[in-house]
Amino acid sequence: MQVNTGRQPLTANPAWTKRLCLLYVTDMNAQRAAMAMVVLTITFYILWWGKAMLIPLAIAATILFLINILSHSIHQLKIGSFRLPEALCFVVALVTILSAIGVTVNFFLQNINGVISAAPGYQRNLEALILRFSASFGIEEAVNIREMIRSINFSPFLFNLGRTVTTLVGNTVIIIVFLIFLIIEQRMMRPKLRALIRNNDEHEDALALIARIRKDIRTYLGIKFLTSLMTGVLSYVVLKIVGVDFAGFWAILIFMLNFIPTLGSIVATIFPSLLALVQFETLGPFVVTVIALTSIQICIGNLIEPRLMGNSLNISPIVILLSLGLWGQIWDIPGMFLCVPITAIIMIIFSYFPSTRPLAVILSGSGEILNTPRREREAGN
């Protein structure tokens, strides 16, 4: 015999059912967030612990992207209806990129020791210049000024940069081995994808998605490399005309530092400008150097590059600074150079998947992501 208590079971009550569903969803979201934090922590620990092997791998991957960019550009060139075969284009790009890197690194290492050796002399000249300037205004705290100037020492930065480049040169064999395996892996991507995805339609969708992602990454790296090269070349012309010592070295350093956002541009302008200040007896070369280098950085970094990039790679400045600090802590100076390309690649990949697209919007500066997955566009239509 069933006793009627006048109460409905909890599962039969719509309000309680809704509350239970909300609690379940909240619990699931909390579990996912906790799992994501654990995975993220483990990932960064692995990146830090294995940086001796992962940095050469990241450099090899960057070199491969540059080779692909140049190979694609060469293949687009044609005389009438004739085009070079893709394999030949790839070989030409491979030889060109590796030769250019070798010449650049060799020139950099030959000059950096001279710059480090001359740095104390330039610093003494700067000290004497500021003391004369302070004396002309009747400032008597010469001792404090001298101590402040001596605390400004750029030699450790140059030494660490040179040591980093030397270490990477010592890992040349490892980088080349990684590059060879990445080239082989790139060639085997289509057969592996065919083995993983049997359905023809899904296989074509996957190929199209990978092609679009690779195209966007290739576009970003190509434009960044081109704008950095333009900045370095124009800076070299200015420094050579002014007569600043080690103009070629500073041009290469400006090219490299241009991959580090904000901070890199500032440092790239400060170093040769200070050298112009202490090298010449008048302020004219210093003023010309500062104005010219700053104008180059502003025109290329704030006008030309954004127009070429578009809004799809408009990374938030806060994200850039956080990425710069994070990758600098994990991989030191190489991480600072690679932080923005890595962040941009992550943002590009995230923008193509509906589940990760909100993360790409968060990483962006304006919230506008132009890359939309095909299925999402079709659903929107």
User: Are 286 and 277 spatial neighbours (Cβ–Cβ below 8 Å)?
Assistant: yes
Tens digits of residue pLDDT in 61-98? 888 888 888 888 888 887 777 788 888 888 899 999 88
What is the reported pTM? 0.71
Burial class from Cβ neighbours inside 10 Å (0-12, 13-18, 19+) for residue 186 reads middle
Which residues, other chains included, contact 110 with Cβ-Cβ below 8 Å and sequence gap of 6+? none
Helix axes 86-136, 247-257, angle to 10 degrees: 110
pLDDT higher than 70, residue 329:
yes
Q: Report H helices in 188-316.
A: 189-196, 200-242, 247-257, 263-279, 284-298, 305-309
User: What value does the mean pLDDT take over residues 5-22?
Assistant: 54
Place of tokens 């040591």: 163
User: Are 256 and 121 spatial neighbours (Cβ–Cβ below 8 Å)?
Assistant: no
Distance CA 212, CA 65 (A): 14
Single-letter amino acid code for the residue at 366: S
Query: What average pLDDT does the structure give for the chain?
Result: 75
User: What value does the mean pLDDT take over residues 14-36?
Assistant: 61
User: Are 169 and 109 spatial neighbours (Cβ–Cβ below 8 Å)?
Assistant: yes
Tens digits of residue pLDDT in 163-188? 666 676 677 888 888 888 888 888 77
Distance CA 320, CA 305 (A): 16
CA 320 to chain centre: 9
Single-letter amino acid code for the residue at 52: A
pLDDT higher than 60, residue 5:
no
Tens digits of residue pLDDT in 213-230? 777 777 777 888 888 889
User: Are 278 and 291 spatial neighbours (Cβ–Cβ below 8 Å)?
Assistant: no
